[in-house]
Amino acid sequence: MVAHRVLIIDDDVRLADMLASYLRPRGFTIECRADAGSGMAALQASPFDAVILDVMLPDLDGFEVCRRLRARSDIPILMLTARGDATDRVVGLEIGADDYLPKPFDPRELLARLGAVLRRSQRANGEPTAPLRFGRLTIDRQSRLVTVEDRPCELTGRQFDLLLLLAERSGRVQTREQIMEALGREGWDSVDRSIDVHVSRIRSAIEQDPKRPRFLRTVRGTGYLFSGTEK
């Protein structure tokens, strides 16, 4: 099996080295960069399967790096924040990060979250399945592409998985607990806004009026409901 190539962008060299030492024996090929400039250059020079990205960098904050990466790639991004502020986590998710982890953290938790974002970015080999079509909205499970009237929608891997889950259960209300159970609990936090943020981003991509959603609706006090029509 080919090892997953992961780039760590963090100016805390001691922490980056510790993570590299922990991850390499567990099947990962790791490269480390201490600033945004060299990290972006490394990503341009060769392919990686995921990025572990610190928010606080000496030359450019991690949020801006995440924005630039997401504008050109759907590479899984796991953000690290030293402040542990819920606002940081929400911002990271809103701009396209697949997951977040506040410092200090247990390396075992980082391994679990990294494995989760990698699994979500890959699809198991199997028989081709027909795209799901809901009027002007199409969800292609094979290409992992969502289009509205043939216009591609920009979604992260996690957002695609969430939309697909709800679409496959169209007409049935899904609680946050059910969502976390179906998609894997790693990276989903029932006490903060992680699911809500992803839903908001999906609505911005697929709805004509995100403030009055037709496809992806909120059922107050319960969860979310995907409707196969826009009526």
Domain-embedded: residue 127: no
Residue 156 confidence class, pLDDT cut points 50, 70, 90: confident
> Strand pairing partners for 29?
5
Are 145 and 109 contained in the same domain?
A: no
Average pLDDT over residues 45-72: 92
Q: What is the structure's pLDDT at 126?
A: 43
Domain with 213 in it: 132-226
* 26: DSSP letter: G
pTM: 0.59
What tens digit of pLDDT does each residue of 216-229 get? 999 988 899 998 77
The one-letter amino acid at 87: T
Are 201 and 111 contained in the same domain?
A: no
Residue 168 confidence class, pLDDT cut points 50, 70, 90: confident
Q: What is the structure's pLDDT at 178?
A: 82
Domain-embedded: residue 126: no
Whether the per-residue pLDDT at 2 is higher than 60: the answer is no
- Going by C-alpha positions, the residue among 187, 181, 227, 179 that lies closest to residue 207 is 227
SS (H, E, C) 29-44: EEEEECCHHHHHHHHH
Burial of 219 (0-12, 13-18, 19+ CB in 10 A): exposed
Domain count, the chain: 2
- CATH code for position 22: 3.40.50.2300
Are 19 and 100 contained in the same domain?
A: yes
Are 29 and 65 contained in the same domain?
A: yes
The one-letter amino acid at 12: D
